[in-house]
Chain A
Amino acid sequence: MSTIRPSSIESSAFDIKGSSFTLLIFCLRTTQLPELEKQLYDHLSKTPDYFNFDPIVIDLSNINQTDVKLDFKSLINILRRHRLTPVGICNGSEIQAQIANKYGLGVFIGLSGKIKPKDTSTNSQPLNSDKTIELPSHLEKKKKETLSQPTKIITRPVRTGQQIYAQGCDLVVLASVNAGAEIISDGNIHVYAPLRGRALAGVKGDTTARIFCQCMEAELVSIAGCYRVLEENLPQNLQGEAVQISLNGEKLIIEPLLSRTTDNKRTANWQK
């Protein structure tokens, strides 16, 4: 593998930027780790791949009294065994924060509002509470995978040679996408200006993704890997017009955005 060196113009080898992520919180209600492991196993053994080493923050608000000792090393190992990646703690005591640091965990501060148990009975009997983690149904699991980042919005023209990727979200472009430019999204793509370059929606395999554009002049369109090179102009009612592009089986459907129901004949179908 080759190494990447900063170019002479970008003399700095790294940038530090602010960002925000949505993180799962693991609300710990016991320090008796064998019991924790048992309950985790009971809950997760049926869906072993539910967590995919998702980063989590351990909330210690229930066990931050000074006389409580917590074996961080074992806790981290247990969580990792269940495909969770602890990245930090919150609401812990000062001593807990110091120990957490020692084990490579960050301390999240300013997290207001303790994660409170849903009812008092679980609060008074933490060990008997039947859920340490709220286990979601299948529906909720799907929701978690598709809804993640906020939509990426681009306001300046996307020019030849530029590539924009909206990872895990929809992409909205408010300026032209010029020939030789590439816009890519895990979700849908909307272009409220001429689309002259390449547009690839649902690149991680979402076959329900669509491309919407106000002025269709694209070089290439693709949904979930099913692509079409538009070497020649589209029929008159589509070229330069507002269209939407969707996937029907293996077929890419390019159709006028507005007159879908009134005139089906004008819809152009293409096989990959």
Chain B
Amino acid sequence: MAKVIVVTSGKGGVGKTTTSANFATGLALNGHRTAVLDFDVGLRNLDLIMGCERRVVYDFVNVINREATLKQALIKDKQCPNLFVLPASQTRDKDALHVEGVEAVIEELKKDFEYIVCDSPAGIEKGAMMALYFADEALIVTNPEISSVRDSDRILGILAAKSRRAEMGIEPVKEHLLITRYSPKRAESGEMLTVQDIKEILNIPLIGVIPESEAILQASNSGIPAIHKGESDVAQAYSDIVRRFLGEELPLRFVHRQKGGLFKRLFGGA
């Protein structure tokens, strides 16, 4: 049975789209047929980060309005044959999304894909509601700062009350906490919230921590998700998250400051 995963946060600029791109790529690299959908209608970004913006002909809204078929709108990723992108429309706004239309698209995707990753826009308005409504699982992207944590808390409340699973009274959406832009050094010195602080407030299982890194910006600008650069800490952190999502148990990395000598740096401090 296909799974729908929403990547959401409430707050903007915390790394939802980056996470969607890397997570979907990671699933595809692990051999799973994956589609990633951009719900940020009017401010589309996912296609840029995935490096397919020049191949966009039809978009999500065209499919909803039956101006194009899903097959025409889905863009096959250059690197992974298992990965497809459904871009958002740049010229429309969020009102173009509606429950029946989104449901039809997701139901059709479910026939052909194992995982459907929904990249949510910021906020708690229509676009975000549509992105989370059909979710089976949710990645809650949170930065180690208080306003981001507060917004994530709000989104968790909405997931528990307004998702389809909540409305139908079936098993609730499975929540995963994903902390991005984490700097162990700054957390230790009290400039940032620590992983422990965030876990205590949000009270949901942690799926992984992405360290703050310049590699992310480079990857975004070049249109190749960072997970392809296997040697970087970001790539490793995202691969860990995907493997944990698929059921592996891995020790948490990149949450402590790298100290000590060459030996430790070489073998990575857990």
Taking Cβ atoms with an 8 Å cutoff, the residues of A that contact B are 8-11, 156-162, 175-176, 178-181, 194, 196
Contact = CB atoms under 8 A, between A and B. Distances in A.
Contacts of A194: 200
17 contacts: A9-B99, A10-B167, A157-B156, A157-B203, A158-B157, A159-B157, A159-B160, A160-B153, A160-B157, A161-B154, A162-B161, A176-B203, A178-B153, A178-B201, A179-B150, A180-B153, A196-B201
A162 B157 contact: yes
B162 A160 contact: no
A175 B160 CA distance: 14
Contacts of B154: 159-161, 180
Contacts of B244: none
**Complex A-B, nearest 6 residue pairs according to Cβ-Cβ distance, in ascending order:** A159-B157, A160-B153, A160-B154, A162-B157, A159-B153, A161-B154
Contacts of B162: 9
Given A8-B126, A159-B156, A179-B150, 18 more contacts: A8-B99, A9-B129, A156-B160, A157-B156, A159-B153, A159-B160, A160-B153, A160-B154, A161-B157, A161-B158, A162-B157, A162-B161, A175-B203, A176-B203, A179-B153, A179-B201, A181-B157, A196-B201
Contacts of B201: 176, 178-179, 196
A11 B167 CA distance: 11
Contacts of A156: 160
B133 A9 contact: yes
A159 B140 CA distance: 14
Contacts of B186: none
Given A156-B160, A159-B160, A180-B154, A8 B98 contact: yes
B98 A180 contact: no
B29 to A, nearest CB: 34
A11 B99 contact: yes
Nearest to B151: A160
Interface string B129-153: 1000100000000000000001101
Interface residues of B, number: 19
Residue from the set A9, A10, A159 with the largest chain B CB neighbour count within 10 Å: A159
Residue from the set B98, B133, B151, B156 with the largest chain A CB neighbour count within 10 Å: B156
Contacts, number: 43
A156 B156 CA distance: 11
Interface in B180-213: 200-201, 203
B93 to A, nearest CB: 14
Given A9-B129, A157-B203, A159-B160, A180 B99 contact: no
Interface string B29-71: 0000000000000000000000000000000000000000000
A115 B186 CA distance: 72
Residue from the set A158, A176, A178 with the largest chain B CB neighbour count within 10 Å: A178
Interface in B75-98: 98
Nearest to A196: B201
A175 B153 CA distance: 14
A158 B129 CA distance: 19
Nearest to A176: B203
Contacts of A180: 150, 153-154
Contacts of A9: 99, 129, 133, 162, 167
Nearest to A163: B157
A171 B161 CA distance: 19
A155 to B, nearest CB: 12
A157 B155 CA distance: 13
Interface in B195-241: 200-201, 203
A178 B204 CA distance: 13
A159 B161 CA distance: 11
Contacts of A160: 150-151, 153-154, 157
Nearest to A179: B150
Contacts of B167: 9-10
B189 to A, nearest CB: 21
A52 B153 CA distance: 42
Nearest to A11: B99
Nearest to A15: B167
Contacts of B98: 8
Nearest to A178: B153
A8 B167 CA distance: 13
B188 to A, nearest CB: 21
Nearest to B95: A8
A180 B203 CA distance: 15
Nearest to A156: B160
Contacts of A181: 157
A32 to B, nearest CB: 50
A164 to B, nearest CB: 11
A215 to B, nearest CB: 10
Contacts of B157: 158-162, 181
Contacts of B161: 162
